Amino acid sequence: MTDKLKDAKIVFVVGGPGSGKGTQCEKIVAKYGYTHLSSGDLLRAEVASGSERGKQLQAIMQKGELVPLDTVLDMIKEAMIAKADVSKGYLIDGYPREVKQGEEFEKKIGAPALLLYVDAKAETMVKRLMKRGETSGRADDNEETIKKRLDLYYKATEPVIAYYEKCSIVRKINSELPVDEVFAIVEKAIDELK
């Protein structure tokens, strides 16, 4: 099964909540035909399905905590294999959230060719999330949970960037700029992959 993913081009998209990962991924999908896999979206779909697993996940996510590693990884892998025949590459959005998740991903799936580090100030992220919360219907887009998610991002996820800097695949993207200007930087990084 994993053979199907042997030559897959894998891009990790890492950044704080509200930094603009989803926004940029959407544009990459449109231009490059990549498959966008947001771990958060996969998990929320499981919650929406009403399954027993979904109910357990909901309780964890509402608290702003990280769900068990194997659960997320299995869901990502299933989704990747399902798209293996049509995908030009994979955007893994919101994963790894911690160094251990990155190590497990490499063991079970493969190594990333690029890490897009979508960087915005905490203040900017909070502002964007509060605005998104007005319409997103996401249980975690509220002030209290946003603060927890930001703390967790700085503690658990920023070390992921340092970890991958060692193999020189990190490209830092200034996401304070308007969406199209951010995408111009993203395009350069993706184009270099070919």
Ligand X SMILES: Nc1ncnc2c1ncn2[C@H]1C[C@H](O)[C@@H](COP(=O)(O)OP(=O)(O)O)O1
- Residue ranges for the known binding site for ATP are 18-23, 132, 177
Q: How far is the CB of 175 from ligand X (least distance, A)?
A: 5
**133 is a site residue for ligand X (CB under 6 A):** no
**175 is a site residue for ligand X (CB under 6 A):** yes
**133 is a site residue for Mg ion (CB under 5 A):** no
| Residue 92 per-residue DSSP state | E
Residue selected from 18, 89, 96, 112 as contacting ligand X according to rule CB under 6 A:
18
Toward ligand X, which CB reaches closer, 137 or 178? 178
34-73 mask for ligand X (x: CB under 6 A)? ----------------------------------------
Q: Is 39:76 a contact under the CB 8 Å cutoff?
A: yes
How many residues contact ligand X, by CB under 6 A? Answer: 15
Dmax over CA atoms of the chain, in Å, equals 43
**Could you tell me the CA-to-CA distances from 123 to 29, 132, 144, 172, 176 in Å, in that order?**
28, 14, 14, 18, 11
Nearest to 187 by CA among 18, 179, 68, 104: 179
Torsion over CA: 162, 98, 9, 184 (sign): negative
| Positions in the binding site for ligand X (CB under 6 A) | 15, 17-23, 128, 131-132, 175, 178-179, 182
